[in-house]
Structure 1
């Protein structure tokens, strides 16, 4: 939503102030389709050359993610903390082997069933189950587990950040591509040097539209989207990092309440629930 609002503000202020100050909109409108074709066509071409097919396919989903923001809210963090508390409590009282039935069939688990949004998120659910399964195979060294989970989170971050970096590269190239479009317009103008000044003036104005669009697209549209997408990726990474914090804290011998509190402290400040919120959610969870 904020991306759409910001886009309206950017375009409204740029072109609105131009028209309000007496600028002629005619050369902009007449030249824009051809200048956009040159700039955007070259930008798409450079993006295709620099990235894999997988990255290209992820562009629509990436832009959608940037517009919607992080999929995890404050209540999602509360649910995850509550789930991890009940898992830690069960592992502490009966051992990790007691979790086997829940790990192998989370869809039929009474523990995961109390938190359907987590259960139905295959990425999060498999991440939790994989490391609980590993702990059940006597991989209970907290330092080793911390390193292994940290390595996977870093790998996920590298993969997720590829698209924001690729879009940022396109943003960096757009001003230069705008100059290319402008130079082509100047070449066209110089080839028509014998025409009347009024026509040459319009042609020069049209050529300069390329420079304008290149800079505007780069710093007013593509760069903010790339930056926002990177921010969303980082926000969502903290959700899985919470799982790492709690599991490692449990393997270090902490009580379930302490492990969950350690995890709570790792949540971003604007999403971190209070101790009382978590305590109430844990008590209210219908876990059989």
Structure 2
């Protein structure tokens, strides 16, 4: 919603101010279709040249994120804390072997199935299951686990930001493309040098529209979209950092509730659940697990 409001404000105030100051929209209306076709065609064409088919598809999907907003909501952060509490408590009380069925077949795990949005995120599930496998390996240096997780996070974040970088490259190129189009307009004008001043003025004005469009699109539309996409990816990466911090705490030998509290501290402030709400959720999960054990034994 905010991006639509921003786009309306940019277009409305820029062109509204131009009209109110005495500018004639006729020149823009006449020139924009042709100048826009050249600028848009050059920008899209150069984008296609610079990227693989897979990257083009990823950028198209990422572009939609700008309108949809963040993938992870406050409930998802509550869910990741609850999921990691259940897994870490099982690990603490029954050992790594008790996690075998959950780690090897997470889609069939009753614990993972309680959190369908997290289960549908391939990287989150892979990060959790691979990290528990590393715990089973028992590295000589416990900090190696954190190093491996950090490298996975860095790789994933680099790939997630690739569409934003591709869009920013287009934004950087648009002013220069606008100048190219303006030069073509000047060349066309010079070819009609014998025309009347009124005709030449309109042609020069049309040529300058190319420079205007290039700069306007770059700094008022494309660059802000790239910046917003980067912001979304940075914020969504916080959920994976929560998983990492909980595992690091587990490696250090902290009890499950302390591990979860350390992970809670990594959640963005706007999404961060209250300490007492998390504590209550943990009590409810513990009570549910304890009541389920006698039923299973029977």
Secondary structure at the aligned position of 1:149 is classed as: helix
Cα shift at 1:139: 4.1
Q: Given the alignment of the two structures, is residue 238 of structure 1 paired with residue 209 of structure 2, yes or no?
A: no
CA contact (8 A) 1:79 1:281 kept: no
Ranges in structure 1 where 5+ consecutive residues have no aligned partner: none
Quote the Cα distance in structure 2 between the aligned partners of 1:58 and 1:258.
Answer: 38
CA contact (8 A) 2:242 2:263 kept: yes
Cα shift at 1:46: 1.8
The residue aligned with 2:171 is: 171
The residue aligned with 1:209 is: 209
The residue aligned with 1:91 is: 91
The residue aligned with 2:226 is: 226
CA contact (8 A) 2:59 2:166 kept: no
Q: CA RMSD in A?
A: 1.5
Task: Give matches, 1:27-42, under 5 Å.
Answer: 27-42=27-42
Deviates more, 1:125-134 or 1:215-224: 125-134
CA contact (8 A) 1:161 1:233 kept: yes
The residue aligned with 1:249 is: 249
The residue aligned with 1:161 is: 161
Ranges in structure 2 where 5+ consecutive residues have no aligned partner: 293-298
The residue aligned with 1:54 is: 54
Q: Deviations over 1:24-81 (max 9, x none)?
A: 1111011101101111111112212222222111122111012211110111111101
Aligned residue pairs total 288
The residue aligned with 2:295 is: none
Point out which structure has higher relative CO (alpha carbons under 8 A, 6+ apart): 1
Quote the Cα distance in structure 2 between the aligned partners of 1:262 and 1:89.
Answer: 15
Quote the Cα distance in structure 2 between the aligned partners of 1:233 and 1:268.
Answer: 13
CA contact (8 A) 1:141 1:251 kept: no
The residue aligned with 1:78 is: 78
TM-score (norm. length: structure 1): 0.96
